[in-house]
A = this chain, B = another copy of it.
C-alpha cells in the first residue's frame, strides 16, 4: 500500500492515439471531425507510448522521465543506506550484514511495511526514520506510482499482442483495442504480476526462510499490504537481499492494482453518465441553453460543447477562458475567425 496518490491525479490528455481514427470515420458523415491537435508536444509521460506503432523500439527507448525516477530512487536508497549504515549500531534487532541491513531497513521503512525486526534505538535514528518514512511515502506515492504505470503500459502491449496473435491484427488495430480497453488490460497485467509476486514470495519464504506454507503466505500478505506485523519477516542474509527487490515491487504492484480497479469503476460510471446524457431528450430549454452565439439555432460545435458540459468533462470556466481568447482574435467582430482575423490579431503592431 501507500503508492497510489498521484496515479490518476494528472488529468492529462487521454487519447494520444486518436489521430488514427480520422480515416476510419463512418461513411456518410456530413460533418468532418476536426484534426487532432498536436497533443504530444505537451504531454509528458504518455509520449513514449504514443510515439506510434513501431513496437520494436518500445523496449529500447526508455522514456527520460522514467530514467529520472530510477536515478532518483537510486539516490534516495543510497542516501538512506549511508544514513542507516552510519547509525547501524543504534538499530536494535536481528542483524546480518551492515550494508545489507541498512538497505533492507530503508526499503522496509520507505514502503511503510515496518516489520519492526529492526528498530531504531536512539533519538537520532528515530528522527531519521521519521524523516525517511515521510519522504519515502511522498516519493513512492508521487513518482514511483507513475513509473509503475508506465512499465505496466509496456507490458500491456505484450498482452494485447499475444491476445491478437491469431487474428493477424495490424499495429493500428492493436493500438485501437488498447485505447478502448486500456484500463481493463492494465488490470489484467497487474493482477498477473501480483499473482506471480505472491507465488514467488511464498515459495522463497518457504524454502529460504524455512517458514511453513501458511506462515509464508501470511508473511507475503502482511508485506504486500504494508501491514508488516513483523512476527514473520526476512531474517537471513539471502532473504534480505531478495526482500529489498521483492518488497519494493510487490507493494507498488498491489497499490497499482487497487488504483486501476478504482479507475475502472470511475470509468464505467463516467461511461454510464455519457450514455445517459447522450440519450436524454433535448427540449427547447436545452436548445436555448446550448445556443452559444445566440443566433437561434444550435450548430454542431455548440451542441458538442453543451453535451460535454452536461457530462462534466468541461466546465463553464474552461469555455469562458477560451472564449476570451476567441474574442481577442476575432478582430473584425464577425463572430467567426478567418485567415484575415488571425493575421490582423497576431501582428505585433496591433494592440490587443
Interface positions of A (Cβ within 8 A of B): 1-2, 4-6, 8-15, 18-19, 21, 25-26, 29-39, 42-43, 92, 109, 112-116, 119-120, 123, 126-127, 129-130, 133-134, 137-138, 141-142, 179, 214-215, 217-218, 221-222, 225-231, 254-255, 258-259, 261-263, 265-266, 269-270, 273-274, 276-279, 281-284, 286-294, 296-327, 329-330, 333-339, 342, 346
A-B pairs with lowest CB-CB distance, top 9: A13-B312, A301-B301, A37-B310, A1-B2, A114-B227, A297-B336, A6-B262, A35-B289, A18-B316
User: In the complex, are the beta carbons of B287 and A342 less than 8 A apart?
Assistant: yes
Complexed CA–CA distance, A303 and B341 (Å): 13
If A293-B299, A300-B323, A333-B30 touch, whether A266 touches B9 (CB-CB below 8 Å) is yes
The quantity of this chain's copies bound in the complex is 2
With contact pairs A119-B229, A217-B130, A297-B338 given, residues A313 and B312 touching in the complex (Cβ less than 8 Å): no
Q: Is the CB of A230 within 8 A of B229?
A: yes
Chain B residue contacts of A31, Cβ below 8 A: 292-294, 323, 326-327, 335
Q: How far is the CB of A46 from chain B (nearest CB, A)?
A: 10
Give Cα distance in the complex from A306 to B288, angstroms. Answer: 23
User: By the criterion CB–CB under 8 Å, are A14 and B315 in contact?
Assistant: yes
Q: A31-B294, A266-B11, A305-B301 given as contacts; is B42 within 8 A of A277 (CB)?
A: yes
